[in-house]
Each structure stands twice: as structure tokens, then as C-alpha cells.
Structure 1
């Protein structure tokens, strides 16, 4: 049910952004790609996870395990960068509204989206290649509901220090730097909103970025705990919980948060429903 609701909500946002004229803006372009990332993430994980739960264990070929690991990294990396780009978009819209249209043109928007997916692909490809170079031996059982880095490294009988160092180094530009950038943009956004004289103006300005801020806090918080804290030994069960939060809960909440707290999306959905009923 969670998988069906998540896919339905994200496909709905993609459809509304593609068809509704009032949603043809940079913010909703990025939101549409965020929904694509969520669909890729949950589709890559949940079907296999359901098999593991229902059968109390499952067999997965090594190539399928590596493929799942790769696409999990691509979607998670792209989502990190998309959330960063969305914070920059909100920063320009609130802190520099007079130059927003000139700076955030169609060319820059599509370039930023392309870079988000490209960086997610390249950085994940590096880690996946290093994992493929490891020699796997011993028990071939993964104590997890998906193929993740920690459980895969535990199957290796070769030195995994290079992979662990590479992952930590890659996590800095892909998780830590974007998170710091988002925090800084929201500091400037908050200071700008506080300078708005009217209460109505403050509420309107804050409503345009509150949904994004809620998603950022949940997503980056879990990612930092998940990928920058060791996941072996006693912390393994905690890592499973964080994995569940990243791969299942966050993709479910994203469309709910954006649709419930966003007036323009609600209005576009209302118009779409009336058009269907009218026909």
C-alpha cells in the first residue's frame, strides 16, 4: 500500500507539472525531477524488500545486487543535488526577486537538472566500480533488506579501506557540502523574511519554502547519519531503520508534504479534477 500510494502521489505531481500551465516554473521543474528520483528509489528497493519480508529471506544474483546498489546511489545522489538546487531557487525568489527571472532562465534550469543527475551517476559509478573490484568470499548472506555498502563490505575478504575512504570523500561533496549550502541559503532566507514589514508578507514568503525545508531536514538528516556514521556492529540495526526511512518513508512523505502545503499544486489538482468531471 505504501508503494502504491508513493508511486501514485509522485506520478500525480509529475503529471501536474507537465500539463498545468501555472506550474511551468523552475521550482516545479525541480519538484518533478525530485518525484522521478523518488519513484526510481522506491521501485528499486521495495519489490525486493517485500520478497525478503514475505519469504523471510530471498536469493538475489550478484549482478542484480550490484545493480540495485548502483541505482540506489544514483537516485539518492540526484535527490541530494536536486534539493540543493531547489534551495538556491527559493533563495533567489525571496532574497533577489527582481533578478530571479533573468538568472533562473530555462537554460540554467535544464543545465542544473542535468548536472544533478550526471553527478549522481558519476559519483555512484565510482563507488560501484570499487565495490566490484573487491573479492567476495565466506558466507554469501546479507543481513539487510537491500544491497547496501556496509553489508557488501562485510562479505569481502580483501582490503576494504580504499572503498570506505572513497565513500567518505564522495559523501563530502554529495551530502555534506549540499547540506551546508542549504543551511546557509535558509539563513539568508530567514533574515530576508524577518525584514518584511507585514505579517501577511512574512507568511506568504515562508509558505513558499516551508515544504522544501521540511523535506530537507528529514532527508539530509537521515543521509548524514546513514552514510557518514559507521554501519557495522551494534549500529547495524540503526542503519536498517535509517535505510527504511530513506528508501520508503521519505519518498512517501515528499508528495504529501508538497501537495498539502502548496497552494498552487492544490489549485492545479482541483482544476485537473474539474476538467475530468466536466468531460
Structure 2
């Protein structure tokens, strides 16, 4: 699927993947989280070197359609707010960004571009409603208390607008028992097999915001789950990745108390969060996973500053 371009045309032609990702407002890194694939895969989709799978394309269109309907719903509520009890038209209304906690609880993307696109849709619907009830909807800072500027979050939850991931696949979480922590601590201590990378920088913000530690790793169940021979398992090329922010508590307390999924299983064309589970899926415990990860990082490195220094001088 080669990249399509036209001589003397001012830009390369968009394709299905680039159109969808741009419409959501995602950066390439944010798209990799949303679709659960490697950043390199996103780049191949956008360039046209690889096609986005049909199920992801279809679900993307479904989610975008739901977002458009949701924007119209929220805009109608803002139009109602624009008319006071005495009938006076209050044209300016405000819409708050979600707090970090609200994002997590509402299964919302962590993406500036996503909210810019959503808020623009809401504002366009609100302004085009007609001379009697139109209003300007202006973005503003997050607010912990639900009120007139962020009532849309209540509607988001009420309408089950889950946009954190494109598709929640069965088996989308790779589970492990407590023996995995021994392996992880040993590998981080020896550092022989660890590959560290920094990511998140851009032309406008050149400094990275995340460090990833990749370690070759293949779960015991992997061969049977994928019907692979021992030789094929050896060539699977899977790894475990620890992805954490370069900012935060120097003693990793932010990781212990967070709800993000910092440990990931990286496969050929897929990235799945990893989570401690003693018995089965119903026993998966993200809180315990993050608490144990923070403990290991403290024991091995002592501080976030020391971890970053080691990663930078690999």
C-alpha cells in the first residue's frame, strides 16, 4: 500500500488512517495508545505503508459518529443555558476541561487535540443554532466540582462515551503472577538486557516527557496461547516495557497511587497492559501492580533521578 502523492500538489494525499487520527485530534503517540499498537505502526498507517485493520477503521467511524451526536447534545444544553430565567440572552458560555481524575473515571483520552476537536464541534453546534439561542462556547481550566462549565462530563458518563481505547479486546490485558516481580527486579538490577528510550518531544517542546525501559520477555503461556513451537517462541521477539513519566515523585509515590498502566507486553504489532492476577481475569489488580512496581523501582534505583541518569547513559 504505497504512499500516494501528486506531483506539484501542496501536500500528500490523506488516507483512511491519517484522516481518522487527525479527526480525533490525536498525535501519533496518542494514537498508538488509543489503538493499542506501536508508534511505528501508526507511522506506517499514516504514510500508507500499512493499512489500518478493518475492525479499527469501522470502530473509529462509529466512535466519531457518537462524538458528533454527543457534541450536538451538549451544544443544545449550552443553548438552553444561554437564556436566563428572565429571557435575557447570555451569549458567552464556558466549557471546562476534565481533571486528570475525571479523565480516568470517564475513560477519556489524555490528549489536548482530542478536546480541542470536541470543544470545536460543540461550539460550532451551539453557534449555528439560530439567532434566538446561539452562544459562544469558550474553553477554560478544569474544575473538580461539576457545574455549569463541566456538566458535559456527567452527560459523557451517562451516555457511556468510553474513548480511552478504540476497542477493548478480550484478553487485552496480559496477566502475570507474583513471580514476575522477581524477574523484573533481577533484570533492572543487572541492566544487561534493558533498552532505554526517551520519547514525547516535538519541535515546539523538544524535551522528552517519558522514559521506556524494554526487556526481552516471553510469558510462560505465550506459546500455548498462540500455538507456537519452542523454536517459534524463541523468535517471538516479545518484551516487557515499563513506561513512566520523567517528572513526578523522586520516590515513585505517584506511580504507587496512580491508575495508569505502566507495565506493558510488547508484541510484534500490539501493546497490551500487564497486570497482576493470582487466579484469573476477575482477580486482576492494577493498584497492587503499581504499588509493587514503585517498590521495585525504589529498591533498584533509589530515586527517579537515578533511574533517569542510568537510562540516559546506557
TM-score bracket for the superposition, by shorter chain length: under 0.3
Normalising by structure 2, report the TM-score.
0.20
Higher relative contact order (Cα pairs below 8 Å, separated by 6+ residues): 1
Greater share of residues in helix: 1
